[in-house]
């Protein structure tokens, strides 16, 4: 059987090579008139990538040959040789898995045209790819564009009739691709994964027990499910709410932490969805369907802080059941040139008439009648439904009302006196390694952890189990790591942030990079999985969040984050 598979793979490679030789129009077409597919097929250094494209699902070659606006990051032949060595799988065997091949190719394509200058402007951004709900982190280091902190653009701006081609020195992988490799028969998962680290299964979290006051946040729910006329929303922490289609309920006070919602209609349970209730935040949870028809909860962190006199704040949310983006125009000018699926935008506008138009791929949807924005009024506008039946949900609240709720929330969340970060670590057996490791830090940082400097900080705290996994990965003993003070210092600084950063702040920043205390603005990337979990560098999970100390905040994580200098030094 294996010989047959190898023979089939050989034929695929020969077909791809023949394609590179016999491109009918290539000899006479100017290069800028050749498609991305033709440009890939022409280059000898991209012959393996051309083979992958030929072996992928049929829509991909057609896309590369005709789609009007794409950016392709094509790994060179050396990159695929490195991939085969890393996976310990011959490329001929890999080519027998069209699902993996198609995922890899899609993960190397951005929608829209991004030349080198535009990529540099995306520094620090997380950009969606054509692989469903999978993202790539763009960084610029020493004027070189890097992807997921590990892949570099080695040749940029190769023009094509339908986009631009960049050659990269390594193959991008994410957890979706690795899981499909490990379990070819499994259905495709959906997980955004910009990550520079090897993918491993996340261990079962062990919560840290810390005495804390009961904390809470305000949450309201919206039924944005066309066809579900009456949706019942229940959980262990709230009474049942009945929501008609296209309605937004009032805010209710719920305990902070993970809350499992049960959604039902006409006596049948539709889904159970986890959400994260943030401390001292106002959240709107939109109950929608994704592009695959699955129910999901899309969370929006509201901002009811004061606006300037004469201004009104509008929250715009794209909850449309579509993988295609939109744009928003107001008064004939672009308000949001790109309004991607799942995107949220907060804009402060003059208190005047507001008549936005939502431009969809094949239609437009004006807000009718127009809104009359008022000072100190906060308006929520959600685009939802489908491309064939787009709808708008609009609701406004008075600033005075929200300030009253904010005051109640702050009284509810009054904390008991808290110990310092150092005391919490010292008192928790599961953090004995981290507590000992802090001795590798300079005196000023040790004082900040002890709470004697007066400067607050936020610590991402890996458990002992997380450090044990790291020791296996880097093949060192605990004593060897503790004695390598410079390496340990870099790792610890990568887990520290200036000021007090709550989970709600991470959620508000998801899709971006978070700068740490490690010099040269070393950062990690924060994204949100479909199940509501926050992911650090696409892999590391929060176990427990918002543990308040007298001098800052602790968040427990299940793996050790490794910055790029450490990854390079260890040869990972």
- Calculate the CA dihedral of residues 66, 190, 192, 531 and round it to 10 degrees: 140
Residues 435 and 401 in one domain: no
Give the total number of structural domains in the chain: 3
Residues 254 and 365 in one domain: yes
203 located within any domain: no
197 located within any domain: no
Which residue, among 255, 552, 544, 548, has the nearest Cα to 417 in the 3D structure?
548
198 located within any domain: no
211 located within any domain: no
Domain that holds residue 393: 216-412
How far CA 559 is from CA of 67, 320, 386, 399, 483, in Å, comes to 40, 34, 39, 41, 21
Helices 47-55 and 2-21, axial angle in degrees (round to 10):
120
Q: Where residue 135 sits, what CATH number does that domain have?
A: 2.30.180.10
pLDDT recorded at residue 487:
92
Classify 182 as helix, strand or coil.
helix
- Whether the CB-CB separation of 317 and 298 falls below 8 Å is answered with yes
Residues 332 and 220 in one domain: yes
Which residue, among 300, 343, 313, has the nearest Cα to 325 in the 3D structure?
343
pLDDT recorded at residue 461:
93
Last residue of a domain, one of 163, 182, 201: 182
pLDDT recorded at residue 411:
67
Mean pLDDT by 10 residues, the chain (572 residues): 38 37 41 82 88 86 84 92 79 84 92 89 78 76 82 91 92 75 47 31 35 66 89 75 89 78 86 78 87 80 86 89 82 84 85 92 89 91 89 90 78 61 83 89 90 88 88 86 91 92 84 84 82 83 84 90 87 76
pLDDT recorded at residue 326:
86
Q: Which residue has the tokens 């006329």?
A: 229
> Which DSSP helix (H) or strand (E) runs through 300?
strand 295-302
542 located within any domain: yes
449: burial class by Cβ within 10 Å (0-12, 13-18, 19+)?
buried
Residues 283 and 402 in one domain: yes
Residues 392 and 336 in one domain: yes
Residues 280 and 363 in one domain: yes
202 located within any domain: no
pLDDT recorded at residue 13:
36
Compute the Cα dihedral for 171, 147, 290, 530 and give only its sign. Answer: positive
Distance CA 13, CA 17 (A): 6
Which residue, among 448, 428, 426, 434, has the nearest Cα to 560 in the 3D structure?
434
Q: Which residue intervals of 242-339 are DSSP H helices?
A: none
Residues 247 and 311 in one domain: yes
Q: Which residue has the tokens 């129910």?
A: 295
Residues 404 and 431 in one domain: no
Instruction: Please provide the size of the chain in residues.
Output: 572
- Whether the CB-CB separation of 469 and 560 falls below 8 Å is answered with yes
pLDDT recorded at residue 54:
87
Last residue of a domain, one of 392, 412, 432: 412
List 17's β-bridge partners, or say none.
Answer: none
pLDDT recorded at residue 200:
31
Residues 408 and 443 in one domain: no
Classify 257 as helix, strand or coil.
strand
pLDDT recorded at residue 417:
52
Residues 273 and 382 in one domain: yes
- Which pair of structure tokens corresponds to residue 391? 């709808």
Peptide linkage before 551 cis (omega within 30 of 0) = no
385 located within any domain: yes
Residues 220 and 168 in one domain: no
315: burial class by Cβ within 10 Å (0-12, 13-18, 19+)?
buried
Last residue of a domain, one of 125, 159, 182: 182
Distance CA 54, CA 70 (A): 18
189 located within any domain: no
pLDDT recorded at residue 414:
55
Residues 355 and 425 in one domain: no
Please count the CA atoms within 13 angstroms of the CA of 398 that sit on its side-chain side. Answer: 3
Distance CA 380, CA 346 (A): 9
């Amino acid at each position: 059987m294996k010989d047959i598979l190898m023979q089939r793979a050989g034929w695929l490679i020969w077909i791809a090579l023949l394609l590179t030789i016999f491109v009918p129009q290539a000899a006479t077409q100017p290069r800028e008139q050749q498609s991305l597919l033709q440009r890939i097929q022409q280059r000898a250094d991209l012959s393996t990538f051309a083979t992958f494209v030929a072996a992928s699902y049929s829509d991909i070659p057609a896309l590369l040959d005709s789609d009007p606006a794409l950016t392709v990051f094509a790994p060179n032949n050396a990159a695929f040789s490195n991939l085969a060595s890393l996976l310990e799988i011959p490329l001929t065997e890999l080519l027998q898995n069209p699902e993996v091949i198609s995922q890899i190719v899609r993960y190397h394509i951005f929608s829209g045209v991004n030349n080198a200058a535009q990529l540099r402007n995306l520094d620090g951004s997380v950009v969606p790819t054509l692989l469903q709900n999978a993202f790539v982190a763009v960084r610029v280091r020493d004027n070189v564009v890097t992807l997921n902190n590990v892949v570099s653009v080695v040749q940029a701006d190769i023009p094509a009739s339908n986009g631009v081609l960049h050659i990269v020195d390594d193959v991008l992988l994410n957890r979706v691709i690795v899981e499909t490799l490990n379990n070819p028969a499994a259905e495709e998962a959906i997980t955004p994964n910009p990550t520079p680290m090897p993918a491993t299964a996340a261990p079962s979290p062990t919560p840290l027990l810390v005495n804390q006051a009961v904390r809470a946040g305000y949450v309201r729910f919206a039924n944005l499910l066309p066809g579900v006329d009456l949706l019942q929303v229940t959980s262990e922490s709230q009474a049942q709410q009945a929501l008609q289609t296209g309605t937004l309920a009032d805010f209710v006070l719920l305990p902070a932490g993970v809350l499992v919602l049960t959604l039902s209609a006409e006596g049948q349970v539709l889904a159970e969805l986890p959400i994260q209730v943030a401390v001292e935040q106002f959240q709107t949870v939109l109950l929608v369907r994704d592009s695959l028809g699955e129910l999901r909860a899309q969370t929006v962190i509201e901002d009811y802080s004061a606006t300037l006199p004469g201004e009104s704040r509008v929250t715009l949310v794209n909850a449309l059941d579509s993988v295609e983006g939109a744009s928003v125009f107001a008064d004939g000018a672009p308000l949001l040139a790109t309004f991607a699926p799942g995107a949220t935008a907060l804009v402060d506008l003059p208190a005047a008439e507001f008549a936005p138009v939502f431009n969809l791929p094949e239609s437009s949807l004006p807000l009718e009648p127009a809104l009359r924005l008022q000072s100190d009024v906060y308006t929520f506008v959600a685009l939802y439904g489908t491309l064939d039946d787009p709808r708008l949900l609009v609701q406004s609240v008075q600033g005075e009302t929200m300030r009253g709720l904010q005051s109640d929330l702050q009284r509810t969340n009054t904390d008991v006196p808290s110990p310092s970060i150092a005391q919490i670590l010292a008192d928790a057996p599961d953090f004995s390694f981290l507590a000992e490791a802090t001795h590798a830090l300079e005196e000023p940082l040790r004082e900040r952890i002890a709470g004697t400097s007066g400067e607050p900080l936020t610590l991402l705290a890996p458990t002992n189990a997380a450090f044990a996994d790291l020791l296996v990965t880097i093949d060192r003993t605990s004593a060897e790591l503790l004695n390598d003070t410079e390496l340990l210092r870099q790792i610890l600084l990568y887990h520290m942030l200036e000021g007090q950063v709550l989970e709600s702040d991470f959620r508000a920043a998801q899709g971006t990079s978070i700068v740490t205390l490690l010099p040269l603005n070393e950062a990690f990337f924060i994204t949100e999985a479909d199940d509501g979990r926050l992911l650090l560098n696409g892999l590391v999970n929060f176990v427990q969040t918002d543990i308040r100390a007298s001098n800052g905040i602790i968040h427990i994580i299940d793996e050790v984050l490794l910055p790029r200098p450490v990854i390079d030094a260890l040869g990972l």
